[in-house]
Amino acid sequence: MRRLLLALAALLAIAVGPVACVSDDASSLSLEDAVGQMLLIGFRGTSLDDEFAGLLDELAPGAVILFDYDGPSGGEQVRNIVSPEQVKVLTAALQEASERGLLIAIDAEGGFVNRLKEVYGFDVQLPSHLTLGAGTASETEALAGASARQLSELGINWNLAPVVDVNVYPESPAIGYWERSFSADPGVVSEHAAAFARAHHDQGVVSTLKHFPGHGSAVGDTHLGVTDVTDSFVRDDELAPYRQLIDDGYDDVVMTAHVVNRNLDPSARPATLSRPIVTDLLRGELDFDGVILSDDMQMGAILEEYSLETAAIEAIKAGVDVILIANQNTYDLDHVRRIKAAIISAVERGEISRERIDESVERILALKRRYGLYEQ
């Protein structure tokens, strides 16, 4: 019966369109609900089943992320994307089950990083960043606009793109090799990233600059293990796209990298866990006041050195607002429970202040308000 009701609610939501949900500010939320807003989580299933509906009710996450392929099972388990109509029903059901308006995220960079493949029936196929960067910014804006329009029509309101890593090392195993950088020229990266983000904003889709402070020079892959860019990072070039876009008013989301850069933080912490990089550099020097998102906390660069709980706490202390648990390297929804419980416990024992939580949550709610997901 619950599934039937959720399906009917999803169909109704499709018919009437997106509806903003309840209105609060951060300080009016319970600690449990406030911390929930700071979670972006991945899950299995092409529909809202009882297990995940129960998890949404239990953990009240502020955001979910969709994938077409399940990494932990090598594709044997079904993930979230089968067809356009199925995705529309799923996103509508997710919104109906969420009390405060849900950010529904996807990696739709284009090229190799594409969850909405033609084989599933999706019409818009965006070229890679490298291909876009070889053309004009107006062409990038038009193509990205078509992709963003497709996302919006599917009920997906957050794209974890564009990549603004400068192509310092074209064979970088996480960036250059997969054509995920617009260019080796920071000016070209800035111009195309701005066009990409602008196109998404015009379609009501949140964009994300990644991977701060820069992953384009890395000879290693943070998905697999610790990656040190101390000797390869070109500070002026790799920070230039962030500096330019933020100066021009960009205020959606920036995703952190898990790279180690001793020139920016002598303690050798991954950038995601580094207060000198997240708060002093991104918030302070670059004056970014939008939402800061971690890269996936289940990646090798984190778990080689830290527990999930410690990493989440340290990321928040560093200045991160949203913790990503994609469940793509390993699948365990209990990881989400553990991270949320650890953050709450850190607040209760005074390691993290409630004011620090509220700072992040207010940024998240402000982003949702701007995109019509949340009423003030």
CA–CA separation, 47 and 93 (whole Å): 8
Secondary structure, 3-state, the chain: CHHHHHHHHHHHHHHHCCCCECCCCHHHCCHHHHHHCCEEEECCCCCCCHHHHHHHHHHCCCEEECCCCCCCCCCCCCCCCCCHHHHHHHHHHHHHHCCCCCEEEECEEECCEECCCHHHCCCCCCCCHHHHHCCCHHHHHHHHHHHHHHHHHHCCCEECCCECCCCCCCCCCCCHHHCCCCCCCHHHHHHHHHHHHHHHHHCCCECEEEEECCCCCCCCCCCCCCCECCCCCCHHHHHHHHHHHHHCCCCCEEEECCCECCCCCCCCCEHHHCHHHHHHHHHHHCCCCCEEEEEECCCHHHHCCCCHHHHHHHHHHHCCCEEEECCCCCCCCHHHHHHHHHHHHHHHCCCCCHHHHHHHHHHHHHHHHHCCCECC
CA–CA separation, 354 and 272 (whole Å): 20
Q: Any idea which residue has 């008013």 for tokens?
A: 249
Active site residues: 223, 295
Tokens of 313: 């706490």
Q: What torsion, rounded to 10 degrees, do the Cα atoms 201, 28, 10, 253 define?
A: 20
**Residue type present at position 140:** T
CA–CA separation, 223 and 261 (whole Å): 17
Q: What are phi and psi of 283, to 5 degrees?
A: -75, -45
Check if the beta carbon of residue 272 is closer than 8 Å to that of residue 321: no
